[in-house]
Amino acid sequence: MRDEDSRKLKSAISGVIVVDKPVGKTSHDVVQIIRKGTGLRRIGHTGTLDPRASGVLVILIGPAVRLSEYLLTDRKRYEATIRLGAVSDTYDGDGVIQSTGVEVRLTEDQILEAMKEFTGEFDQIPPAYSAIKLQGKKAYELARQGKPVQIPSRKVNVFSFDLVEFNLPEISVDIYCSSGTYIRSIAHDLGKKLGCGAYLNGLRRTVSGHFSLRDAITIPDLQTCFEEGTWYQHLIPAADSLEGMQEVLLDMELEAAIRYGKKIPAKPEDAALAKAVSEQGELIAILEKSSDGMAWQPKKVLYS
CA distance 280 to 251: 10
CA angle 156, 182, 190 (to 5 degrees): 90
Q: H or E element: which one contains 163?
A: strand 154-167
Handedness of CA 82, 27, 233, 235 (dihedral sign): positive
Helix 27-38 vs helix 219-228: crossing angle, to nearest 10 = 10
Specify which residues 289 forms β-bridges with: 296
Helix, strand or coil, per DSSP, at residue 86? strand
Phi and psi at residue 24, in whole multiples of 5°? 100, -20
Active site residue 50: yes
Check: CB of residue 114 under 8 Å from CB of residue 193: yes
Which sign, positive or negative, has the C-alpha torsion 140, 170, 97, 149?
A: positive
- Yes or no: say if 115 and 163 are a contact pair by the CB < 8 Å rule: yes
Among 50, 92, 189, 215, which one carries the catalytic annotation? 50
Q: Which residue type occupies 191? A: G
Cα–chain center distance at 256: 34
Q: 89, 88, 190: which is closest to 149 by C-alpha?
A: 89
Report, as residue numbers or ranges, the catalytic residues.
50
